[in-house]
Structure 1
Amino acid sequence: IKIFQPVIMAWVLGISAVIAALVVYIKTLEPEAVQVFSGSLSSGLILLIFLLIILAALYKKIDVFSSFIDGAKGGFETAVKIIPYLVGMLVAISLLRTSGAFDVLIDGIKNLVLLTGSDTRWVDGIPTALIKPFSGGGARGMMVDTMNTYGPDSFAGRLSCVLQGSSDTTFYVIAVYFGAVSVKNTRYTVGAMLLADLVGIISAILLSYLFFA
């Protein structure tokens, strides 16, 4: 795929400009106004997506309800197929969490950050980001644990919430869905998804410092 094409770059730069404008605008609002604006924006986006789906179906003359039923049937069949892979992934995640491997890793990262003299508050929220590529439920558990430990209004608690929505369940998707359709050669999938996760994590940390530090 040739990334540096005029159309692709125009879309990327355009979306980036919109996001940057939103960040600048939200930064000027009071905390109460930020909550109202973000709630209205998220609700509006959900409604917009729903309306766009309906309009696209009408334009293409597609029976929306029948398509929905067909999709639901396919979803159920897929769910049955992925159960063995799902169980295996959840067992592996449970072993990682209970073995203390994440605690050792977090302590190591914090010590490295201390050597540089940088702020270490962001490290306390990193467990959510580390487990998110493996399990969304596990990451949610880490997020709740971080909020219980440091407080929901703490920097670590807020960062963990942002991280929860800033990356995807990379290895979960690969193991479960690729396994369900018997795809063994993932080619560039892992690298591309991990790169996207890294960008999401870095962006989450920077934005959290911008809004919550």
Structure 2
Amino acid sequence: MVLNLVWLGFFLSAFVAALVALAQGDMTVFPKLMTGMFDAARTGFDISIGLVGIMALWLGLMKIGERAGVVDGFARAVNPVFRHLFPGVPRGHPAQGAMTMNISANLLGLDNAATPLGLKAMQELQA
């Protein structure tokens, strides 16, 4: 709800700024505004397509690692450290693997790859 109001505020402020520019004699302000909006939409789409590809790749690798047992082995290896960091998570919980992979991806600087792993960890913790 609040995000809708923020976006509405952005559009209204752009429209008011365009009206001020129009009042000052700039007759090309609305074509510039439309061109800018479509260019920004195209850039947002291009970025999202790239992120979807990266997320699909890392979620696929995570699923392969889960089925092969690599994620569970890695989670068991770092379990003593995570027991102190996350005392509320029971031993052997499915979220431990996703949390381990999320923290590992963040430590390696793979921010976009860490996002789906963090979301998976939160889903597991809520279940």
After TM superposition, the score normalised by the length of structure 1 is: 0.33
After TM superposition, the score normalised by the length of structure 2 is: 0.47
Task: Identify the structure with bigger relative contact order (alpha carbons < 8 Å, sequence gap 6+).
Answer: 2
Q: Which has the larger radius of gyration?
A: 2
